[in-house]
Chains A and B, each alone.
Chain A
Amino acid sequence: MLKLGVFELTDCGGCALNILFLYEKLFDIIKFYEIKEFHMASSFKEHDHLDVAIITGTVSCQRDLELLKRVRNNSNYVIALGTCATHGDVQGSVEGSIREKLEKVYGSRANPMKALDSKPIVEYVAVDYALPGCPYDKDEVYQVLMDIAKGVEPPKKDYPVCIECKLNEYECVLIKRGIPCLGPITLGGCNAICVKSKVGCIGCRGPLPKEANPASEFEILKELGYDEEYIRKKFKTFARGELRW
């Protein structure tokens, strides 16, 4: 049996919740893994050395950072799960220093709870596998855990949302309907589920590594009549300043 822990830093809870949404497949997982800590699901807790640790969320306060370091030091294989952990997600894109933000919201620059600027965990520690998505597709995490249990290094995806959109034969909302869609520059794996709803991809899985061509996407959106400021904000929603052109 492999020892597994699920740890949440600051996030919406969705990445941990999505594991519970595996339903009966959860029972397959516990054939290979002994769950040592998963505070959303269980009161059982055993601080122990872990074979696999899943970490969700951004580092947004001192508590997050301490927990992250403890877990990294005590775990063989660390999975950064979800776009918060891999790219910083929406909270990572809020501009300004932590003190400015606290002042705007609490009316004081004081920081008794030691809040930090939200950053993905990959900025602080090395991870063994990064699975983005806000949220990721739940079958992906199942596959990754099963691969690790079998001693296989889980493969990494490297194609854009457009590939899955075409395979599903959805109508291209960007070209055919002029709706802003970040599918061409966003990492696939979601099965183009938002395009199924006939709305454009908002880039929740973060930029396609290496081959993305944001400059060309930028030009297409400009030609469709969207102003530069609008496009810039859309590009940085989930992945801070990672998309450059």
Chain B
Amino acid sequence: MVTITIGEFTRVEGNGEADIIIENGEVKEVKLKIVEGPRFFELLTLGRYYYDVPDLEARICAICYLSHSVASVLGIERAFNVEVPREVMLLRELGLLGEFLESHALHLYLLVAPDVFGYPDAIKMASKHGELVKEGLSIKAFGNYIREVIGGREIHGINVKPGGFGRYPTIEELEKIEQNSEALLRFAKRAVNVFADLKFYGAKAEHFVATNSYLYGDKLIACDEEVFDYYEHIEEKTLPYSFAKQSKYKGDIFMVGALPRVMLKSEQLTPLAKKLFEDHREKLSQGYVSLNNLAQAIELVYALEKAKEIARELLDKGLSCENVPVEVQEGEGIGYVEAPRGVLIHHYKIDSKGNISYSNIITPTALNHAIMELSLYEEAKKNYGSLDEKTFVQRLEETVRAFDPCISCSVHLVKL
């Protein structure tokens, strides 16, 4: 028996490794290992006053901190039966769109594009493809601008609160968001072309799971048309070789992320994004996980179109800037959000004093752990022996990268 170890995946967020176990000249098993230490977020928030909790949960991950704050706020509001007005929800959506732009642009332009053009990183790629890198950086910077306006800071702002916001955006900020969304759209369209020709690799996803609305939801949906709460059909198990857990949907391996979103919710896409989706529908429905990159590029278009639409609606109606009063009561609530890399779940029980008595967080990278491992296995099986070791390892790294994995998220740890 031989084991090939891929030490520390590069160009992903966090620290992960894989063991490829070879027996009699064949790939027998692949173990995807999350090697970052556990941070015990569920224990951290136990006993904490609800108001401070979204700020703490944001620290699970920097790339998608707003997804964590919004999921946390939604869970808390549902526990207290708080209904916020459309204005507040639209602003939260705007924040989540900013996060899509920031996160997808980082992943596509800085992390995946070097694979497409054959460079070790985007800085070295910039000498030949400087325009593309600059276009990516400008989308990313704009996404961060939205995160700063809505979230309070590029990383770990604390402006999103149960019942509303600390500070509401100004007219000028909304106008700037509207204008930039329009201006950047042509870059995003170009990205769809760049990532449309990616090779098929990784496993073929048989099951997709997403939230019922495009950016968040009160239920999950799956490709078999099931509408459900996570604990009804998603089961988790711990692994002896990894700090993250593995999940199955009704006993099967499934996928969350941009590809599942566009496949399950294409009717919610904005006009141009919908057209681009239709152009590539046949390809995307093949289900190979590498197509997640193309789906993300389509979502860049969606996020820009949608951000513009929301900014315009808010400008037309005017902002009332009023928070809803939050009355503390004993309760239980779940927040479902589509983080850039897929479904994110925050589940809380809160006691009569407003302190957290139970918390369970399930992140997209934990949900995708099983299909990432399967993808590595299939890709390794296909290529072992035919590629030299360096190219072989490279191909496996590209496969993991397609999931845009966020390893920090996956080891925040899930409570049993």
Q: Is A122 an interface residue (CB 8 A)?
A: no
CB-based contact B56/A197 at 8 Å: no
CB-based contact B408/A12 at 8 Å: yes
Total chain A interface residues with beta-carbon distance under 8 A: 64
Q: Is A112 an interface residue (CB 8 A)?
A: yes
A and B contact pairs by CB, cutoff 8 A, 12 listed: A8-B15, A9-B36, A13-B63, A13-B406, A14-B62, A39-B10, A61-B36, A61-B243, A115-B243, A197-B167, A199-B161, A233-B47
Per-position 1/0 for A55-95, Cβ under 8 A of B: 00011110110000000000000000000000001110111
Instruction: Give every chain A residue within 8 A of B416 (Cβ-Cβ).
Output: 105-107
Q: Is B124 an interface residue (CB 8 A)?
A: yes
Per-position 1/0 for B62-78, Cβ under 8 A of A: 11010000000000000
Given contacts A21-B144, A135-B62, 17 further A-B contacts (CB under 8 A): A10-B15, A10-B37, A13-B61, A14-B65, A23-B141, A39-B11, A40-B12, A43-B114, A43-B120, A60-B37, A60-B38, A61-B37, A104-B43, A118-B37, A193-B152, A194-B153, A199-B161
Most buried by A among B13, B59, B122: B59
Q: Is B185 an interface residue (CB 8 A)?
A: no
Q: Is A148 an interface residue (CB 8 A)?
A: no
Per-position 1/0 for A93-125, Cβ under 8 A of B: 111100001101111100011011010000000
CB distance from B198 to the nearest CB of A (A): 18
Per-position 1/0 for A1-23, Cβ under 8 A of B: 00000001111111101101101
CB distance from A197 to the nearest CB of B (A): 4
Q: Is B85 an interface residue (CB 8 A)?
A: no
Q: Is B234 an interface residue (CB 8 A)?
A: no
CB-based contact A104/B415 at 8 Å: yes
CB distance from A19 to the nearest CB of B (A): 11
Instruction: Give every chain B residue within 8 A of A112 (Cβ-Cβ).
Output: 240-241
CB-based contact A44/B37 at 8 Å: no
Instruction: Give every chain B residue within 8 A of A20 (Cβ-Cβ).
Output: 106, 110
B residues touching A (Cβ–Cβ < 8 Å)? 8-15, 35-44, 47-49, 52, 55-56, 59-63, 65, 106, 110, 114, 120-124, 137, 141, 144, 152-159, 161, 165-167, 238, 240-243, 397, 406, 408, 411, 413-416
CB-based contact B123/A42 at 8 Å: yes
Closest to B159 in A: A197
- A32, B47: Cα distance in complex, Å: 48
- A40, B238: Cα distance in complex, Å: 26
Once A113-B243, A197-B166 are accepted as A-B contacts, the answer to whether A43 and B11 lie under 8 Å apart by CB is yes
- A41, B161: Cα distance in complex, Å: 32
CB-based contact A90/B157 at 8 Å: no
- A63, B15: Cα distance in complex, Å: 10
CB-based contact B241/A105 at 8 Å: no
- A10, B244: Cα distance in complex, Å: 14
Once A197-B167, A198-B167, A199-B166 are accepted as A-B contacts, the answer to whether A113 and B242 lie under 8 Å apart by CB is yes
Q: Decide if the interface of chain A is mainly helix, strand, loop or mixed.
A: mixed
Instruction: Give every chain A residue within 8 A of B56 (Cβ-Cβ).
Output: 90, 237
CB distance from A23 to the nearest CB of B (A): 6
Instruction: Give every chain B residue within 8 A of A118 (Cβ-Cβ).
Output: 37, 39
CB-based contact A89/B122 at 8 Å: no
Once A12-B59, A112-B241 are accepted as A-B contacts, the answer to whether A197 and B44 lie under 8 Å apart by CB is no
- A105, B95: Cα distance in complex, Å: 31
Q: Is A234 an interface residue (CB 8 A)?
A: yes
Once A104-B43, A116-B37, A237-B56 are accepted as A-B contacts, the answer to whether A42 and B166 lie under 8 Å apart by CB is no
CB-based contact B62/A113 at 8 Å: no
Instruction: Give every chain A residue within 8 A of B106 (Cβ-Cβ).
Output: 17, 20
CB-based contact A204/B157 at 8 Å: no
CB-based contact B44/A58 at 8 Å: no
Closest to A173 in B: B166
- A89, B55: Cα distance in complex, Å: 13
CB distance from B34 to the nearest CB of A (A): 9
CB-based contact A26/B152 at 8 Å: no
Closest to A202 in B: B55
CB distance from B358 to the nearest CB of A (A): 12
- A145, B91: Cα distance in complex, Å: 37
Instruction: Give every chain B residue within 8 A of A175 (Cβ-Cβ).
Output: none
CB distance from A226 to the nearest CB of B (A): 9
- A89, B41: Cα distance in complex, Å: 12
CB-based contact A12/B61 at 8 Å: yes
Q: Is A196 an interface residue (CB 8 A)?
A: yes
CB-based contact A94/B157 at 8 Å: no
Instruction: Give every chain B residue within 8 A of A17 (Cβ-Cβ).
Output: 13, 62-63, 106, 155
